[in-house]
Structure 1
Amino acid sequence: MKREIIHITEDGRIVIPAVHSDKIRMDEAELVGLFNVVAPTLRAAKRRIYKLGILQPFTAEQRIPLKEGYQVVYNLEMIFALAFQINTYPAQQLREYIISRLFQSEKSMVICMMNGNHKSYLKC
């Protein structure tokens, strides 16, 4: 399985590969490097996300079989959730990147559908 990772360049730019979000998966060592934390801090943040019910292990994790055991990788949703749970400068950079991408001024078309009955709601 080919997978992509997120990384931060030396000049502080966030690099997220332009692939489908299912292709971006990172293992624990890569996440430790991305967020500049020690493994116990990352594991505590991950446990907190699961305990709060934000994500479930069966959706956030994937086990890749190896010759001796398996490797656990985490999806993009978990990576972003961890960015909001960890308090380091790289995590802050990723949070700011995510928020700035959400509010980029880009023209887009909004298609709205109206229900035909009297108690209609606007769905966009």
Structure 2
Amino acid sequence: RSVTGPKGVWISVDEGDYAIEIRVTGRNEPKRPATLDLGVEVEFDREIYMLSETDRATCIAFRGGLPEEINIGEEHTYANFTSPTGGLLSLETWDGGYDWHFGEWVDPWKIKAVT
């Protein structure tokens, strides 16, 4: 499964580690777990992913453009699931919605500009 696509990718930076992710939609979405307890498992693309990190985040400010409307003070819960092969599956929830993203961790020292 590739994280490239015509609609672009989401690049996430977490403590110096980079993840490149794409949105998972429709029938391809994993089933949302009943709880977000560490160790909970979900299946995606015939692979098992285990919940390795979860927390809440509050938007306190942003500059520039975002692909969707986000309001100052809005809270989101995020949950990161990891597969045995190193795949990344992220669930983000907020009042009235949620999104799944699939991706992979990328070594920042191996990123090169393409011209």
TM-score of the two chains, using structure 1 as the length reference: 0.28
RCO comparison, higher one (Cα < 8 Å, 6+): 2
Structure with the larger helix share? 1
Query: Which structure has the larger Rg over C-alpha atoms?
Result: 1
TM-score of the two chains, using structure 2 as the length reference: 0.29
Structure with the larger strand share? 2
